Amino acid sequence: MKQLMRTNNPVSMAIATSLLQGEGIDCFEIDVNMSVLEGSIGILPRRLMVRDEDYDAALRVITDNGMSPDG
């Protein structure tokens, strides 16, 4: 798995996940439950992971839709 995107913005994460799923690219969001440990202040970004072989296509989907891998 390779990190495609890292962000504190849950809306950007949801949009990116939806775009990738629409293209048939599997993705997995990690660090979702870290907010419990940090006290829900949102300083730890969530990461969106894709399979190594899907990374180039996923990056193209994200950037073609005006999003940045940095969130």
pLDDT 10s digits, 16-58: 999 999 999 999 999 887 756 666 666 788 899 999 999 999 9
Give the DSSP letter of residue 45. Answer: P
pLDDT of residue 31: 85
pTM of this structure: 0.83
Tell the residue number behind the tokens 């894709």, with chain if given. Answer: 50
pLDDT 10s digits, 38-48: 666 667 888 99
Return the beta strands (E) in the chain as ranges.
Answer: 2-7, 27-30, 46-50
The distance from CA 3 to its chain's CA centroid, rounded to whole angstroms, is: 8
